[in-house]
Chain A
Amino acid sequence: QSALTQPASVSGSPGQSITISCTATSSAEGYYNLVSWYQQRPGRVPKLIIYEGTKRPSGVSDRFSGSKSGDTASLTISGLQVEDEADYYCCSYTGTWVFGGGTKLTVL
């Protein structure tokens, strides 16, 4: 089973852009497209913000975007807002599902 590595924390100022990476420790065919991202604000339930690597569910701001390169998927948040401060998790499906360790985003 592949493990997913995320940075423990990232930070940015309002209006800036940040990118959170999610790297698979072992390659699996089809990994590249089957990555989802979740936002979890403090004390709240996780919320799906990106699926299939790059797609946004209805109602999710277009400030959130997903991409992939090699064994690394990335989440970019542009035009940072204070409300974006949260934990972010990637998740991959390669027959079973696995979450990354999570990244705490601080908006300074």
Chain B
Amino acid sequence: EVQLVQSGAEVKKPGESLKISCQGSGYSFTKYWIAWVRQMSGKGLEWMGIVFPGDSDARYSPSFQGQVAISVDKSINTAHLQWSSLKASDSAMYYCARGGASVDNFDYWGQGTLVTVSS
């Protein structure tokens, strides 16, 4: 069974750094892209970026380029989303999702990681 399990909720202060994770299991982790999607409270889905675990090739939405970093540790089947200096506006639910066999879709999703940034 394909599963993406994300790290737990985080509460941080503005200016702090954060790295959240997404561990895949039940499939060949290095063969499928992993995307990160933001959902602010009461708002829609926003595609942030994507990484191919096989070679760590990462691509970003223009809206998030330079704001976050996406990485992968294929030795533990885990993708990461990282901030160096959080802002209150980074408060949101963050989902990881597996890129499907067809390039256009995301077929399995993690349960989400809620990030709250508040002073």
Contact = CB atoms under 8 A, between A and B. Distances in A.
Interface of A: 1, 33-36, 38, 40, 45-48, 51-52, 55, 57, 87, 89, 91-93, 96-102
A102 B45 contact: yes
Main secondary structure of the interface of A (DSSP, over half): strand
Contact of B103 (A34, A40, A46, A101): A34
Contacts of B37: 46, 99
Contact of A97 (B50, B109, B111): B50
Most chain A beta-carbon contacts within 10 A, residue among B35, B47, B59: B47
A93 B45 contact: no
Contacts of B111: 45
Contact of B45 (A1, A33, A48, A99): A99
A101 B34 CA distance: 22
